[in-house]
């Protein structure tokens, strides 16, 4: 079997859109121990591109709903990250004047006071020992995006941003409705930047529902 990274394996399995298993549940991070578990999975997937544990913790403390995780037998099986961005940072990031590692999520309190228009899809990962175990992953994507849109923290018109480190990631972003916004050669991180623009809630629901989400 091809030795794929957890990130690539997750994207490949999501693109197959298999049926979910009923015993899988989706949760947010609620303890530091669970956060460190997710960080280890993320570090394995992204290597040097991953945040440090301290940075990872800082993102979680600012916006605790940013990561939605599939929990199987008491352990994280896979995770998707969607975080709110300040408009000034989104502009700098999208124009190549800021690296991903320098982004700072909007706080939960701020999101509750004023919904946010710029969001960052930080990635999707699957645990290393579950490569090829892909059937619950569409449930993660469906519920993760569903909870995000229903959070009350989203403002329209909306721009969702994401970078594609692998071709599988680019294909997944295209499946979700993202299109390439800027070539990686023009960005400090060196990866292509993708954007999904949604004018209103109706358009958002239509885009994802037509994709079975």
Could you tell me what percentage of the chain is helix, strand and coil, using 3-state DSSP and rounding each to the nearest 5? 45, 25, 30
Nearest one of 135, 178, 146 to 14, comparing CA atoms: 135
Identify the pLDDT of residue 13: 54
pLDDT at 196: 97
Q: What is the pLDDT of residues 27-70, one digit of tens each?
A: 888 888 888 888 888 777 666 556 788 888 898 899 999 988 88
**Residue 19 confidence (pLDDT):** 46
3-state SS class at 193? strand
With H, G, I as helix, E, B as strand and everything else as coil, classify residue 22.
Answer: coil
Taking 70 as the pLDDT cut, the residues of the chain under it are 1-24, 45-50, 128-136
For the chain, the structural domain boundaries read: 6-209
Q: What local confidence, expressed as pLDDT, does residue 9 receive?
A: 58
Nearest to 87 by CA among 142, 14, 158, 138: 158
The verdict on whether omega for the bond into residue 157 sits within 30 degrees of 0, i.e. cis, is yes
Is 6-209 assigned to CATH 3.40.630.30? yes
Instruction: Identify the pLDDT of residue 20.
Output: 47
CA–CA distance, 43 with 53 (Å, rounded to integer) = 9
pLDDT at 180: 96
Phi, psi of 80, rounded to the nearest 5 degrees: -125, 135
């Amino acid at each position: 079997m091809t030795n794929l990274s957890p990130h690539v394996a997750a994207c490949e399995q999501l693109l197959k859109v298999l049926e979910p298993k009923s015993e899988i549940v989706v949760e947010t991070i609620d303890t530091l121990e669970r956060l460190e578990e997710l960080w280890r999975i993320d570090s394995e997937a992204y290597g040097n591109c991953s945040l440090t544990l301290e940075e990872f913790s800082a993102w979680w403390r600012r916006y605790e709903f940013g990561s939605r995780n599939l929990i199987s037998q008491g352990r994280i099986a896979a995770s998707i990250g969607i975080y709110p961005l300040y408009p000034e940072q989104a502009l700098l990031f999208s124009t190549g004047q800021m690296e991903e590692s320098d982004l700072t999520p909007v706080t939960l309190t701020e999101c509750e006071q004023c919904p946010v228009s710029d969001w960052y899809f930080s990635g999707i990962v699957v645990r290393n020992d579950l490569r090829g175990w892909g059937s619950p992953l569409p449930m993660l994507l469906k519920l993760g995006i569903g909870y995000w849109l229903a959070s009350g923290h989203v403002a329209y018109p909306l721009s969702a941003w994401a970078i594609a480190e692998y071709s599988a990631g680019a294909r997944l972003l295209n499946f979700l409705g993202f299109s390439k916004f800027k070539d990686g050669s023009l960005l400090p991180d060196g990866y292509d930047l993708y954007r999904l623009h949604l004018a209103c809630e109706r358009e958002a629901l239509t885009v994802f529902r037509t994709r079975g989400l």
